[in-house]
Structure 1
Amino acid sequence: MAERRLHFLPTKSTFKLGDRLGTGTVGVVYRATSPDLDAPVAVKLLHPNVTGDANIVERFEREIVITERLNHPHIVRHFGGGQMNGQLFYAMQLLEHGSLKDRLARFGPMPWPQVAGFALQIASALQHAHNHGVIHRDLKPSNLFFNDQGDLVLGDFGIARDTYAADITAQGITVGTYAYMSPEQIRADARISGKADLYSLGCVMYEMLTGRPPYLGANFAQVWDQHLNKPVPSVRDAGVDCPRWLDDLVQQLMAKEPDGRPFNARSVEGLLRQQLADEFGDAEYRKLTRDLPEFTDEPAEQQGPRTWVLWLVMGLIVVGLAITAIGRS
């Protein structure tokens, strides 16, 4: 393994591994430090027992190549990769505040202004990735992490498609997570565009608003059938109190055919930005995603008062803006 020619330029930084943060099917993630960096990072180390699988190794290297060319505040930051005792590794931004999946499990659905604010961040990240020829293909709550400021950061590009290179996924093979997969991913279409990520964004927004994925089933076949054939669900019909424009956006993102979805992630970001600015003011809407409660051990059903307080804070923001406008007139 040590003699194998790498497909990327190894970092000159050295890393000292600390606590193990998590273990996956192909790698282990450690907290690590480096004398070349000011803050701790996360180091993902490829399992020794899979280093003989050429496809897994190539996919791991592809993830390094992809992430090292992305530089965006809502995409996990990359600090280079290389080999450590013969094992491939790469270093990335350390995100220690849990995932969106964790938060939804503990606190349940979010108020629509927060959902719109977070969706704006995700759309911005997707557009940056798409601009650099990267289609994520696995956008879901467990791949969205909170940073120190309370913003969402998109991570895990392990099955991302690099449109600048040949796709290493065999033709006819379905990749992704079935609860969030676009119809074209389920069909294993040969050509997948960034609009597949937009479909997944619609699924994630639906879950943030309702507390559950848009389609449920006993197995992947039942869920896939709904993605392919069942009408796109409405969050308002599910009992969510949100503006019609937001419900319309979720349904458009989840259109069965890519041509029925928004033109690109930038157009989604622009719509969200304008609607939130009109509703809360250009400066105030940026604070909506920062009013999240800290993690506790309380289950989601006990978090009602926290949600009520959040809505009260948002209402006070709107009232304050109205009073200011009246005073100026």
Structure 2
Amino acid sequence: MIEYFYPNQELILPELAGHLDIGSDKFIVVQRFDGGMGTCYRIVDAQGTSYALKVIHSDLLLDEKSIYRYNEELKLWLTFSACDGVAEAKSIIKINEIPCVVSSWMENGDMSTLITDMNPRTFYTSMDRIITALKWVYDNYKVIHRDLKPGNILIDKDNKAYVADWGLAKLISASEQGKKNDSRELAGITPYLTQQGTFVGTVLYASPEQLLGLPNIDFRSDIYSLGCIMYQWETGKPPFVAKTIQEIASGHLYTKPSKIG
């Protein structure tokens, strides 16, 4: 996999400076974080303000389905940024003809490193924001997330939580809803390309219907994942932990989680 940028590298990004309405087009690369489909870089402008710059992994650039998924995520992310509980995508720019998304930088990282130390008020306030954001997205666009986990819940400097990473999001079709889809149109966004029987998501937080690759998955799958996150906060670990993915999946499908009390 090719490295796009390096720590302390200076980037000249006039398009981004224009979108952000700032005087200087110079940005410095500070940190790098690898994700499932893309790499995230922390970049800083001349005033010291940090942003997150996300770009698809270089080894996926020639994979048609991966490029499609990445472009769909960018469109979804921009659309849903209108919601206060969704991590804001500020701009989509091209660097060397590769589409990149620039978003707000979250000073406190994600919930994965904080969840065991969060007090009840902070945790349940965060969950309320996340649930409200997911409901807003579903009510307006009939889209579910399908990869809810602590690592995809970002926390800003004021400890406010935001939903991030829409790479596995799915548009629920009218037939899957069982009624006419009267939601607002999402220009250019089509149902996520997966084949029946294919698992997508993160196994520690995945619903049984995700694990089985069922075609009629709906918002209840996200509710299940939220339940797994809440269970982890209460107990210190997800409801099913094992040595192999198959054992974890089996737990979700056939085993009741240990009682919290």
Q: Same fold (TM over 0.5)?
A: yes
The answer to whether the 8 Å contact 1:115/1:209 transfers is no
Show the counterpart of 1:85: 96
The residue number in structure 1 matching 2:154 is 145
Backbone CA RMSD of aligned residues:
2.5
Note the C-alpha offset of 1:168. Answer: 1.3
Aligned-residue identity in percent: 25
Residues 1:186 and 2:196 aligned together: no
Is 1:48 aligned with 2:58?
Answer: yes
Q: What are structure 2's unaligned runs of at least 5 residues?
A: 1-14, 173-188
Deviation per CA, 1:91-150: give whole Å up to 9, x if none: 11111212111113xxx3544444332221221121122122221111011111211211
Partners of 2:85 and 2:249 in 1: CA distance: 29
CA drift at 1:17: 5.0
**Greater helix proportion:** 1
Deviation at 1:74, TM superposition (A): 2.0
Code of the residue aligned with 2:38 in structure 1: it is G
Q: Distance in 2 between matches of 1:109 and 1:25?
A: 26
Offset of residue 224 of structure 1: 1.1
* 1:96 aligns with one of 86, 107, 128: 107
| Partner of residue 233, structure 2 | 208
Question: 2:79 is paired with a residue of what secondary structure?
Answer: coil
How far does the alpha carbon of each residue in 1:213-247 deviate from its partner, in whole angstroms, 9 at most, with x for none? 111212111111111121254322xxxxxxxxxxx
AA aligned to 1:85 is N
1:88/1:183 CA distance change after superposition, 3 Å: same
Q: Which has the higher strand share?
A: 2
CA contact (8 A) 1:111 1:209 kept: no
Per mean C-alpha deviation after superposition, the further-off stretch among 133-142 and 12-21 is: 12-21
Q: Indicate if the aligned counterparts of 2:42 and 2:105 stay in contact, CA closer than 8 A.
A: yes
8 Å contact from structure 1 (residues 32, 43) kept in 2: yes
TM-score of the superposed pair, with normalisation by structure 2: 0.77
> 1:242 aligns to what?
none
**More relative contact order, 1 or 2 (CA 8 Å, 6+ apart):** 1
SS of the equivalent of 1:123 reads: helix
- With over 3 angstroms needed to count, the CA separation of the structure-2 counterparts of 1:175 and 1:157, relative to structure 1, is same
* Pairing of 1:13-92 with structure 2 (within 5 A): 13=19, 16=27, 18-32=29-43, 39-70=49-80, 71-92=82-103
- Cross-structure match for 1:199: 224
Where structure 1 has 5 or more consecutive residues not aligned to the other structure, the ranges are 1-9, 237-329
Number of aligned residue pairs: give it: 223
